[in-house]
Chains A and B, each alone.
Chain A
Amino acid sequence: MIQIQNLHKSFGSLEVLKGIDLSLEKGKVLVIIGPSGSGKTTLLRCLNLLETPNEGTLRLGNTTVEFGNRRKASKQQTLDLRQSTGMVFQSYNLFPHKTALENVMEAQIVVQKRSKEEARKRSIELLAKVGLSGKEDVYPHQLSGGQQQRVGIARALATDPQVMLFDEPTSALDPELVGEVLKVMKQLAAEGMTMVVVTHEMKFAAEAADTVVLMDDGKILEQGPPQQVLQNPSSERASQFLNLLTEKEV
Chain B
Amino acid sequence: MDDRKIQIVIDSFLPMVKAALQYTITLAVISFVLGLILAVLVALVRVWKIPVLNQIAIFYVWVIRGTPLLVQLFIIFFGLPSIGIELDPFPAAIIAFTLNMGAYNSEIVRAAIQSIANGQWEAAYSLGMTRGQALRRIILPQATRVSVPPLSNSFISLVKDTSLAYTITVVELFQVAKQITATTYEPLLLYSEAAVIYLIICTVLNALQNVMEKRLSRFSTQ
Contacts and interface: CB of A to CB of B under 8 A. Distances in A.
Contact of A89 (B122, B145, B218, B219): B122
Contact of A107 (B120, B129, B219, B221): B129
B126 A48 contact: yes
B84 interface: no
Contacts of B142: 96-97
B125 interface: yes
Contacts of B220: 96, 141
B133 A89 contact: no
A50 B128 contact: no
Contact of A97 (B117, B125, B219): B219
A91 B118 CA distance: 11
A50 B138 contact: no
A250 interface: no
Interface residues of A, number: 28
Nearest to A103: B123
A89 B123 CA distance: 8
A16 B142 CA distance: 33
14 contacts: A48-B126, A50-B122, A82-B126, A85-B126, A86-B126, A93-B123, A97-B145, A97-B219, A98-B219, A106-B137, A111-B129, A141-B220, A156-B126, A165-B126
Given A83-B128, A93-B119, A155-B123, 4 more contacts: A94-B123, A95-B120, A96-B220, A111-B127
Main secondary structure of the interface of B (DSSP, over half): helix
Contacts of B128: 79, 82-83, 107, 111, 159
Contact of A110 (B129, B145, B218, B219): B129
A159 B125 CA distance: 13
A89 B119 contact: yes
Given A96-B220, A97-B145, A97-B219, A79 B123 contact: no
A30 interface: no
A89 B126 CA distance: 10
B112 to A, nearest CB: 13
Interface string B132-148: 01000110011001000
A68 B123 CA distance: 26
A139 interface: yes
Interface in A53-97: 75, 79, 82-83, 85-87, 89, 91, 93-97
Contacts of A110: 129, 133, 137
B130 interface: yes
Nearest to A75: B130
A156 B122 CA distance: 12
B48 to A, nearest CB: 15
Contacts of B126: 48, 50, 82, 85-87, 89, 156, 165
B127 A106 contact: yes
A82 B125 contact: yes
Contacts of B133: 110-111
Contacts of B218: 139
B139 to A, nearest CB: 10
Contacts of B138: 95, 106
B165 to A, nearest CB: 38
Contacts of A159: 127-128
A107 B127 contact: yes
